[in-house]
Amino acid sequence: MSRLLNKVAVVTASTEGIGFAIAKQLCEDGAKVAVSSRKESNVNNALKKLEKFVDGGTCIGVPCHVGKTSDRVSLIDKTVQQFGKIDILVSNAAVNPTFGPLLNTDENSFEKMLDINIKSAFMLVKEVFPHMNNGGAICFVSSIAGFHPLPLIGAYSVTKTALLGLTKALASELAPSIRVNCIAPGIIDTKFSTALTTNELVSSQALSQIPIGRFGQPEDCAPLVSFLCSDEARYITGETVILHLPAMSTSEPQSSMPDAAKDADCIVERVRRTAADGQRQFLVRLGGSAAGSDWVSEAELLNSAPAAVEAFLARRRANRAKAESVAKKRPAPRRQQQQQKRGFERGLQPERVLGSTHRQGGELMLLMKWKDSSELDLVPARQANVKCPELVIDFHAKRFAQMAPTDRI
């Protein structure tokens, strides 16, 4: 295919994973590509791999740490010196140095993510813009975490959300000559996502929600980027395309409840109130030929499947009764308990986190089970994050795995 014939592309973080797959696809589609990475050895290895897919002279490598101004300028200058112009920019570089509760993220790690994931993407556009005299295409690589932040990579999710806004703002300002789009991959099997794909609990739950039955591969992302950067997508700008996971939407979910849905064909999983009109919506899992999950208005669901609503409300009542029963088994009334020392203060060893709630002031509290004790304590999450971070992470991971895909991703 030659959809990108005579086009010149710069792809950051392109020596492995999604970035390498994109660079390879652009080369195969006729573009002249500048690949880059922080380490020169990685750049050289990537060029050797690309030799079998492209003719000599259509691909160059430039070491570049996107967080350094001098490296970014060097990448742009060497590309222009070699090919005379730049038509395409794919900003793929990102880091995620932390894994755990958002408030456990230290300042240096947070600044590093902002610097690499957001600032460098913006600065690359500023530095490439003067060389796109005849127009061009820009593509950012965000993540599904940008739409629905993941509990154990909250800071990373924040930066990926910012890319969605950057895409729309730049698309408006640079139109009509330069188009700006974005892709938001799901869980792609790369070194970057090892923390998710190697976690048996998280990966098994995620795979159970994917009809294709596997995690995405870098090669699943590359053709979409090539299309968005080609003239075939000449009327598309300001868009973010989600890859891989089902039941995803960049807008407020709309109901597609089949008129013929029966009580026996659906199970209500969750409930929420919409911000628009205050009416309740239910997350319904449909069976039969309409398999899948969807948000359905209360009125529509009561009309189509009233028994499913009653079954859901009965489960909620049972869960509340169970919670009240657990609360009654605490060793002391709440008033007395507040006057007593809690488990950490008495030297007890935590065994596991059973649940979470919020105090009236908004403080997150965790229900803690102690080793060699039948006692349960509500302890501040900020205290548990310091005393037993591994138990807090395990609790969030299990809760994340139990969420419906629409809520989780």
- Coil/strand/helix, residue 90: strand
Confirm whether 156 is a catalytic residue: yes
Beta strands 364-370 and 350-358, pairing class: antiparallel
**In the chain, what is the greatest distance between 2 CA atoms, to the nearest angstrom?**
78
Contact 98, 104 (CB under 8 A): yes
Burial group, residue 193, by CB count within 10 angstroms (0-12, 13-18, 19+): buried
Residues 6+ apart with CB under 8 A from 356: 364, 365, 366, 367, 381, 395
The active-site residue, picked from 20, 83, 140, 156, is 156
Contact 49, 59 (CB under 8 A): no
Closest CA to 188 of 145, 238, 230, 154: 145
Residues 106, 139: Cα–Cα separation, whole Å: 30
Active site residues: 156
